[in-house]
Amino acid sequence: MTTHREWTRAVTAALLLGALGCGSSSSSPGTTGTAGTTGSAGTTGAAGTTGGAGTSGNAGTTGNAGTTGAAGTAGGAGTTGAAGTTGRGGTTGTAGRGGTTGSAGTTGAAGTIGTGGAPMPSTGCGTTPSTTAETTFMIDVSGTSRSYIVTLPANYNASQPHQLVFAWHGRTGTAMQIARGSYYGLKSRMTNAIFVAPQGLGTSTDANDTGWPNTNGQDIAFLRATLAWMNSNYCVDQARVFSVGFSYGGIMSHTIACQMSDTFRAVAPMAGAIFGRTNTCLTHPIAAWMTHGSMDTSASGGVDFTAGESARDRIVALNHCTSTTAPTDPSPCVAYQGCDAGYPVQWCPHDGAHVIPSFAAAAVASFFLQF
């Protein structure tokens, strides 16, 4: 920037030069004045400071997950219904009461189903049989021809499941004797039941020495085949299949209680025994009514009184009964206490020998009909 003094000097010099120039044309040209000093360029202002970037806000803290509420306490188990586990036979038992509803809405355990239970219809229900008359049928079992008599109830109904009773003859006996004897007197007392009287085989030396030795499992195989045929051709209540027999027939009933306790609901061996088959027995319980004469000395046939007691004790243990008994009808029968629910055991010793006591028919029918 030019100051006032410098400007004054410049003007004065210009006037002097003008005066000199007017006096003579040959005079020397005037000296060029010194160029004014270029003012210093203004200082460029410093760039404005960029503001600091805003600090990013902290991420929001994720809230703690809600604590899951404690589960409601389970309600107490319901009172067990009479006669325990689901019945596989008999008339409909009283169902156990349902458990009381627990706190927090949890339902208590339902009571155990009673002794009875709903029928289990076989595949033969709805099939009209070819005949309702008492009939002898033949069946092939592993190449051996076996026979059995079937007697239907007078009120047989192909749409209604019926109880099924197998009645086994004694040694040297026949199926016809059992059928003509009203199936040990049960037919007139179990009027809704179907009855089957199987025929035993004779020995290799005597065709008339019939019985149920179950050699190589032949008699149980015969029973299984017959039962399957009955289920397919008649309306059978598979939850109520029973077995009864005297002497060798009692032995066969004990064999069934050993090997087919998961299929038969109850057995009624009279003067029976079990012959060394405990190693093949099932662990499923089975209801049993048993009788034996205290004067029975049939030791040669292996069915004396002590043999009957031994067979009885096996079923008592199988059904987890205690050794305590209580009198029951008819006298002198006793009922074992503490048995598995739905699987009672009754023992009816009498003063006779190797015979069927007079009270047997009514007692056996009553025992079977409770299921």
Contacts of 235 (CB under 8 A, 6+ apart): 121, 122, 124, 125, 126, 127, 157, 158, 159, 160, 161, 162
Q: What is the pTM of this model?
A: 0.70
Chunked into runs of 10 residues, the chain (371 residues) has average pLDDT values of 45 37 39 45 44 42 40 39 39 38 38 63 96 97 98 97 98 98 98 98 96 96 98 98 98 97 98 80 98 91 93 98 98 98 98 97 98 98
What is the distance between the alpha carbons of residues 236 and 233, in angstroms, rounded to a whole number? 9
DSSP 216: G
Candidates 370, 192, 165, 187; CA nearest to 287 is 370
Res 276: pLDDT: 66
User: What is the residue extent of each domain of the chain?
Assistant: 135-369
Q: Are 90 and 370 in contact (CB under 8 A)?
A: yes
CA distance 338 to 330: 20
Assigned CATH topology for domain 135-369: Rossmann fold (3.40.50)
Q: Which residues contact 176 (CB under 8 A, 6 or more apart)?
A: 149, 197
